C-alpha cells in the first residue's frame, strides 16, 4: 500500500517528528495492546460478601456462582438489584475490583414493627416490606394489615401517635379501613391505653395526644375518629 500509513492514526497517537522521541508514545504503543489482550482473560476469581447477617445461604451461594464469569462488562447494577430483593436486606453496594474480585456489601433493613406470618414473626421495614425473621418482636405489632402498602400506612399512623403523644404504640389492628384500634404505652400509666383512630387523623386525636403529652389523666380507652367530639370510657 502506498502513501503515509500514519495518516490512519489519530493525531495524538502519531509518532513525533524525526529526531524527537516520546516516552509517552512508546507507552501507548506497547502497554495498551498488552492490556487489551489481557481483558478477555480477566474473570471473576473471588466474591466477598460483607454486612447483612440476614442474607440467606442460598443468596450467598448464588453470588459465588459469579466466579469464572468474564470480569469486564460484569453488570454490577443487576447484581445489586438481585441482592436487594431478599427480605431483611437494605442498601446494597457492589464493587468490581479488577482483575477479578467482586465486593458485595449489604446492610440490614431497619425494623420499625413486627408482623406474624404463619407461626413466625417477621420484622417490618419503613416501606411496609417484610424484613426477615426476628427473634425479638419489636413494637408496634401489626394485625390485620395485608401487603406492603397497608403495613406502611399502619406504621405511619403509629409514628404520628408516638410523636404527638410522647408515648409508644405497642400494637395496631385494622378493624376497618377507617378504624384502627391502637394500644399505647404512656408515661406514668401501668396499663396500656386503647384508642380507635382514623388513619387520616382527626381533631379529637390531636387533642388526646396533646393531653397525653402534658401528662393529663385520661380514661382507659377513647374513640378519636371524630372531628367534633371525643368519646372516652373506662377507668382512670
Statement to judge: residues 69 and 176 lie in one domain = no
Q: Give kind and range of the element (H or E) at residue 152.
A: helix 147-165
Residues 100 and 136 in one domain: no
So what's the pLDDT on residue 144?
95
Q: In 3D, which of 201, 197, 213 has the Cα closest to residue 164?
A: 213
Q: Is the pTM of this model over 0.75?
A: no
Extract the C-alpha cell encoding 236: 382512670
pLDDT at 57: 81
CATH number of the domain residue 131 falls in: 3.40.50
User: What burial letters (b/e) apply to 211-229, b meaning 16+ CB within 10 Å?
Assistant: ebeeeeebeebbbbbeeee
Q: What is the pLDDT of residue 11?
A: 47
Question: Cis peptide before 99, with omega less than 30 degrees from 0?
Answer: yes
In order along its 236 residues, the chain shows pLDDT tens digits of: 444 444 433 444 444 554 444 444 333 333 445 454 555 578 899 999 887 776 778 888 888 889 988 888 889 999 888 888 887 788 889 999 988 899 999 888 889 999 999 999 999 999 998 888 888 899 999 999 999 999 999 999 999 999 999 999 999 999 999 999 999 998 767 789 999 999 999 999 999 999 999 888 777 899 999 999 989 887 55
* Among candidate residues 68, 90, 108, the one where a domain is terminated: 108
Residues 149 and 221 in one domain: yes
Q: How far is CA 216 from CA 54, 140, 196, 209, in A?
A: 43, 24, 19, 10
Residues 159, 141 share a domain: yes
- Domain around 84: 41-108
Residues 81 and 183 in one domain: no
My answer on whether 214 and 127 are in the same domain is: yes
Residue 195 and residue 128 in one domain: yes
Say if residue 98 is in the same domain as residue 132. Answer: no
Give φ, ψ of 142 to 5 degrees: -100, 130
What is the three-class DSSP state of 132?
strand
Cell digits for 135?
427473634
What is the DSSP pairing of strand 141-143 with strand 168-176? parallel
Picking from 74, 92, 108, the residue at the C-terminal end of a domain is: 108
Cβ–Cβ under 8 Å, residues 49 and 60? yes
Q: State how far Cα 131 lies from the chain centre.
A: 9
What span, in angstroms and rounded, lies between the C-alpha atoms of 89 and 127? 13
Residue 33 lies in a domain: no
The structural domain count of the chain equals 2
Assess whether 191 and 165 both reside in one domain: yes
In a domain, 20, yes or no: no
Residues 142, 174, single domain; the answer is yes
Amino acid at each position: 500500500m502506498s502513501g503515509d500509513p500514519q495518516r490512519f492514526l489519530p493525531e495524538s497517537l502519531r509518532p513525533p517528528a524525526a529526531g524527537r522521541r516520546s516516552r509517552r508514545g512508546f507507552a501507548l504503543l506497547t502497554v495498551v495492546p498488552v492490556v487489551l489482550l489481557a481483558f478477555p482473560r480477566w474473570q471473576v476469581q473471588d466474591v466477598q460478601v460483607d454486612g447483612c447477617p440476614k442474607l440467606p445461604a442460598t443468596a450467598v451461594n448464588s453470588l459465588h456462582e459469579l466466579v469464572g464469569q468474564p470480569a469486564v462488562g460484569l453488570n454490577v447494577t443487576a447484581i445489586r438489584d438481585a441482592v436487594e430483593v431478599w427480605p431483611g436486606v437494605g442498601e446494597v453496594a457492589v464493587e468490581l475490583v479488577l482483575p477479578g474480585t467482586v465486593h458485595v456489601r449489604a446492610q440490614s433493613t431497619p425494623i420499625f414493627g413486627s408482623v406474624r406470618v404463619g407461626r413466625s414473626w417477621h420484622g417490618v421495614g419503613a416501606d411496609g416490606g417484610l424484613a426477615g425473621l426476628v427473634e425479638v418482636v419489636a413494637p408496634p405489632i401489626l394485625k390485620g394489615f395485608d401487603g406492603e402498602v397497608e403495613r406502611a400506612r399502619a406504621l405511619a399512623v403509629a409514628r404520628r401517635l408516638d410523636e404527638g403523644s410522647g408515648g409508644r404504640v405497642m400494637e395496631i389492628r385494622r378493624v376497618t379501613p377507617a378504624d384502627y384500634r391502637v394500644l399505647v404505652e404512656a408515661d406514668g400509666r401501668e396499663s396500656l391505653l386503647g384508642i380507635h383512630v382514623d388513619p387520616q387523623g382527626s381533631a379529637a386525636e390531636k387533642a388526646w395526644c396533646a393531653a397525653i403529652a402534658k401528662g393529663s389523666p385520661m380514661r382507659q380507652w377513647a374513640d378519636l375518629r371524630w372531628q367534633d367530639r371525643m368519646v372516652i370510657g373506662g377507668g382512670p
